[in-house]
């Protein structure tokens, strides 16, 4: 489904998200046309002894996007991202990066291919005995670039991440955020088309996390580098990713454009992960909720969705009848990738028949309208 479809929803297209089965690789939107793919994984599997880390994972990363892979620890994220630059071998399947099949390369060819794939790490993995300058210079040195050419490239990279004044300092003297900036500069030194980020912000505080994420987005825009990141934090996905895949027990259970997945999470895991970025109703309200209405109660209605339509449509339905005495009790709407995404909870006066009609009308328009319960009026 394209964003144009969502802006002008035909009944069929608008209904589609609800009709998608819980797991069907081809409906997740993770398969882009081969032409603009920079990474293509074709049902890759990997097991460690009897523990299956990845089970027939297929996905396509488009050139120029930021692709997020989210999952709990132990879901196989680390293994998955490491297969993309061959740090982790696979038992079955095929891996294409930049149109080249990575999974069949020999050591020397794999090393050359890796120089076109940058990687940053949760624990930065900077060489403690080398200065910031030497760390950033390392990939160029490994590639055999002459010293003079290396120096100017390194200064440029240090300017880009704002660490020119730290060139002669050793990593131990840097803060976590600064270390990751060095990591990013090092990863980009070889002018890679692809940058892999392995929980790059997981060891950082929220403020530093944001600054690193913004730097990544800025570098993506400036250099056109494609980014694949893994994280266990939905906030990271929301902040910078264009598309997301949700990994659970080595399988992709859900995927697609971030705003769509956020708006219509299908997998239980996705809903759980989303709770961290979308707080539930206030505790006091939840405690007052009861499932069976009594006369004089008010009814809590929640609209879940993405795009402006669900909220506007429900508001329009409610506004047509002042007897509803409509009130908004809770709203959490974010902009994700330019689309409003979130939930709005309305409180309306409980009237049995009109409520039934309202729910039926919402269903006809494929609006995710749900009765949460009832509270005393």
Partner 1 sequence: MSADDVELFGMALAETGIMVGVSGLLSLVLGLPLGVLLVITHEDGIWPRPGLNRLLGTIINAFRSTPFIILLVALIPFTRLLVGTTIGTTAAIVPLAIAATPYYARVAEMSLREVDRGLLEALRALGATRWQIIREALLPEALPGLVSGFTVTLVTLIGASAMAGAVGAGGLGDLAIRYGYQRFDTGIMVGVIVVLIVVVSAVQIGGDELARRLNRRL
- Under the rule (CB under 8 A), what is the footprint of partner 1? 85, 87, 111-115, 117-119, 121, 123, 125-130, 138-139, 141-143, 170-172, 186, 190, 196
Give the residue with the Cβ less far from partner 1, 113 or 361.
Answer: 113
Q: Please, what is the minimum distance in Å from the beta carbon of residue 42 to partner 1?
A: 22
Residues 202 and 85: their CA atoms lie apart, in Å, by 21
Can you list the alpha helix ranges (DSSP code H) found in 189-257? Answer: 206-223, 234-240
Residues 57 and 42: their CA atoms lie apart, in Å, by 7
**In the numeric block, which tokens belong to residue 14?**
């608008």
Give the residue with the Cβ less far from partner 1, 195 or 300.
Answer: 195
Residues contacting residue 235 through CB under 8 Å, at least 6 positions apart: 209, 276, 277
Residues 91 and 144: their CA atoms lie apart, in Å, by 33
Q: Please, what is the minimum distance in Å from the beta carbon of residue 76 to partner 1?
A: 17
Residues 139 and 127: their CA atoms lie apart, in Å, by 12
Q: Please, what is the minimum distance in Å from the beta carbon of residue 162 to partner 1?
A: 21
Q: Please, what is the minimum distance in Å from the beta carbon of residue 214 to partner 1?
A: 23
Q: Please, what is the minimum distance in Å from the beta carbon of residue 125 to partner 1?
A: 4
Q: Please, what is the minimum distance in Å from the beta carbon of residue 87 to partner 1?
A: 6
Give the residue with the Cβ less far from partner 1, 7 or 129.
Answer: 129
At 316, which helix (H) or strand (E)? helix 309-319
Give the residue with the Cβ less far from partner 1, 173 or 271.
Answer: 173
Give the residue with the Cβ less far from partner 1, 141 or 214.
Answer: 141
Q: How many CB atoms lie within 10 A of CB 68?
A: 27
Q: How many CB atoms lie within 10 A of CB 5?
A: 14
Give the residue with the Cβ less far from partner 1, 1 or 110.
Answer: 110
């Amino acid at each position: 489904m394209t964003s144009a479809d969502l802006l002008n929803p035909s009944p069929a297209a608008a209904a589609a998200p609800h009709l998608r089965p819980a797991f069907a690789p081809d409906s997740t939107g993770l398969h882009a046309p081969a032409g603009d793919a920079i990474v293509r994984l074709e049902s890759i599997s990997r097991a460690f002894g009897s523990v299956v880390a990845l089970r027939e994972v297929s996905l396509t990363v488009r050139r120029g996007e930021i692709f997020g892979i989210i999952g709990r620890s132990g879901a196989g994220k680390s293994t998955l991202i490491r297969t993309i630059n061959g740090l982790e071998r696979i038992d079955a399947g095929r891996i294409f990066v930049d149109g080249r099949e990575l999974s069949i390369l020999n050591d020397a060819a794999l090393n050359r291919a890796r120089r076109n794939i940058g990687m940053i790490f949760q624990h930065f993995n900077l060489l403690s005995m080398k200065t910031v300058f030497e760390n950033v210079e390392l990939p160029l040195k490994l590639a055999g670039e002459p010293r003079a050419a290396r120096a100017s490239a390194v200064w440029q990279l240090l300017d880009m991440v704002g660490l020119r004044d730290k060139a002669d300092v050793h990593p131990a003297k840097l803060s976590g955020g600064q270390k990751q900036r060095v990591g990013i500069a090092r990863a980009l030194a070889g002018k890679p088309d692809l940058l892999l980020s392995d929980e790059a912000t997981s060891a950082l505080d929220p403020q530093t996390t944001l600054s690193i994420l913004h730097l990544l987005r800025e570098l993506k825009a400036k250099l056109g580098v494609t980014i694949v990141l893994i994280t266990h934090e939905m906030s990271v996905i929301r902040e910078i990713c264009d598309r997301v895949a949700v990994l659970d027990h080595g399988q992709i259970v859900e995927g697609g454009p971030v705003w769509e997945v956020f708006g219509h999470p299908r997998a239980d895991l996705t809903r759980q992960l989303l709770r961290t970025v979308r707080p539930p109703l206030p505790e006091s309200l939840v405690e007052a909720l009861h499932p069976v209405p009594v006369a004089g109660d008010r009814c809590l209605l929640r609209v879940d969705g993405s795009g402006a339509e669900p909220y506007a449509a429900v508001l329009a339905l409610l506004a047509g009848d002042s007897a509803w005495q409509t009130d908004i009790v809770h709203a959490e709407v974010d902009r994700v990738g330019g689309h409003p995404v979130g939930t709005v909870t309305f409180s309306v006066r409980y009237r049995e028949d009109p409520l039934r009609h309202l729910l039926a009308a919402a269903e006809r328009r494929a609006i995710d309208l749900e009765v949460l319960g009832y509270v005393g009026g």
